[in-house]
Amino acid sequence: MRLEFDLNGEHVTCEARDNQSLLDLLREGLWIKSVKKGCEQGECGACTVLLDGSPVTSCLVLSPQVEGRVVTTVEGLEADPVMVALREAFMEDGAVQCGFCTPGMLISSYALLRDNPEPSEDDVRTAIEGNICRCTGYVKIIEAVLDASRRLKA
Ligand code: FES
Ligand code: FES
Pocket test residue of 24, 41, 73, 100 for ligand 1, highest count of atoms within 8 A of CB? 41
Domain tally, the chain: 2
**Which amino acid, 15?**
E
pLDDT digits (tens, 9 = 90+) for 33-64: 999 999 999 999 999 999 999 999 999 999 99
Distance (angstroms) between ligand 2 centre and the Cα of 8 equals: 24
Domain around 91: 79-153
**pLDDT-derived band of residue 84, with 50, 70 and 90 as boundaries?**
very high
Whether 47 lines ligand 1, by a CB cut-off of 6 Å, is yes
Q: Looking at residues 126-154, what average pLDDT do you find?
A: 97
* pTM, entire model: 0.97
Is residue 58 located within the same domain as residue 83?
Answer: no
pLDDT at 18: 92
Domain limit, last residue, from 49, 76, 103:
76
Strand order in the sheet with 10-15: 10-15, 2-7, 70-72, 48-51, 54-57
- Nearest-CA residue for atom 2 of ligand 2: 98
Is residue 98 located within the same domain as residue 143?
Answer: yes
The CATH number for 69's domain is 3.10.20.30
